């Protein structure tokens, strides 16, 4: 029985052999055996029940930022929440004070604008962060001083191994640098953020100033996935790359940004194998010069394609 038959009868939309390059900010990657696009929690729960009963591997793809899909694609079912899960609502009657509930598929810029226009402080630490609410939670995204985990009140999620939608308090999530670990593997459907009343004008000014600063410090106009490596203790990867004279280094269609040394951009026609080769090159050079072992912040999923052996 093929995937089409195994997934038959579900209300959830799915696409077979769907190229994932169009679902990532890198615009790189091979196909998913099946890409599923549930529209709501009910469809998500039914989809996961079917995947469990048919023993189908499940991979979650958020907004496609901070993700590199290998050229061979991803086996099994890739679940993308970008179609549904886009709700944004302000709850003024929450027990712990005002809160914003955002679906996991909400784009981070939309969340930040929603809060700023209403004069609600709390999520401005996410200004300039790409991707979706679900992806930002998984990476404990944020700025230099604050991270998303500091303003999360609770989440709604579906454990992969069993059951339906459950609520989970922030205290039961293990937040750390660029990581948020749930009690067990699962898919987040929405996030509640604690907010406080502020001044809309000042918040809009803050976001505009931050946007201008990021445009100067980060590459714009070319496909990329955000920071590639975590910063090693006591250092900044971008500065290490710049001091080593590596900015502008290119392999295939992948290039170390001339603007920021910890970004790789797709100059056109890049393959995952090009990005991975450039990652290996940077790791080797920084280790040789400084002894630092760079750790990936980028999430790499999928299988190598047939050209990987040539690199």
Q: Of these residues, 21, 190, 227, 257, which one is catalytic?
A: 227
Of the listed 101, 121, 153, 297, which one is catalytic? 297
Contact yes or no for 194/151 (Cβ under 8 A):
yes
The number of angstroms, rounded, from the C-alpha of 6 to the middle of its chain's C-alpha atoms is 28
Is 152 in a helix, a strand, or coil? Answer: strand
Which residues does residue 36 pair with via DSSP β-bridges, in sequence order? 14, 79
CA distance 141 to 180: 9
Helix (H) and strand (E) counts in the chain: 7, 18
Annotation marks residue 127 as catalytic: no
Half-sphere exposure of 185 (CA within 13 A, CB side): 7
Three-class DSSP category at 223 = coil
Q: Is 297 among the catalytic positions?
A: yes
Whole-angstrom distance, CA of residue 158 vs CA of residue 152: 17
Burial class of 259 by CB neighbour count within 10 A (0 to 12, 13 to 18, 19+): middle
CB 200 within 8 A of CB 168: no
Tokens 């290490």 identify what position?
A: 240
Catalytic residue among 50, 70, 156, 178: 178
Distance CA 178, CA 175 (A): 8
Residue 218 DSSP one-character state: S
Please count the residues of the chain: 311
178 catalytically annotated:
yes
List the catalytic residues: 178, 227, 297
């Amino acid at each position: 029985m093929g995937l089409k038959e195994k997934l038959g009868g579900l209300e959830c939309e799915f696409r077979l052999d769907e190229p994932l390059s169009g679902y990532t900010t890198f615009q790189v990657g091979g196909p998913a055996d099946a890409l599923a696009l549930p529209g709501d929690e009910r469809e998500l729960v039914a989809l996961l029940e079917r995947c469990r009963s048919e023993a189908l591997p499940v991979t979650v793809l958020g907004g496609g930022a901070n993700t590199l899909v290998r050229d061979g694609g991803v086996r099994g079912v890739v679940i993308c929440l970008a179609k549904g899960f886009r709700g944004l609502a302000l709850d003024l009657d929450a027990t712990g004070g005002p809160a914003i509930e955002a679906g996991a598929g909400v784009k981070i810029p939309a969340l930040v604008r929603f809060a700023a226009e209403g004069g609600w402080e709390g999520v401005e630490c996410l200004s300039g962060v790409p991707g979706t609410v679900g992806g930002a939670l998984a990476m404990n995204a944020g700025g230099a001083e604050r991270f998303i985990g500091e303003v999360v009140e609770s989440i709604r999620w579906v454990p992969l191994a069993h059951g339906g939608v459950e609520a989970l308090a922030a205290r039961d999530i293990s937040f750390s640098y660029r990581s948020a670990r749930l009690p067990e593997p699962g898919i987040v459907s929405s996030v509640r953020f604690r907010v406080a009343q502020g001044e809309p004008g000042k918040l809009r000014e803050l976001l505009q100033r931050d946007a201008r600063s990021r445009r100067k410090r980060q590459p714009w106009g070319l496909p990329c996935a955000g920071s590639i490596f975590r910063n090693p203790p006591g250092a900044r990867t971008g500065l290490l790359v710049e001091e080593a004279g590596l900015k502008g280094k290119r392999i295939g269609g992948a290039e170390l940004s001339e603007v920021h040394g910890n970004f790789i951009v797709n100059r056109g026609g890049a393959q995952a194998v090009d990005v991975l080769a450039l990652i290996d090159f940077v790791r080797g050079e920084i280790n040789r010069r400084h002894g630092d072992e760079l750790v990936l912040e980028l999430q790499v999923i999928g299988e190598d394609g047939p050209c990987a052996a040539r690199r």
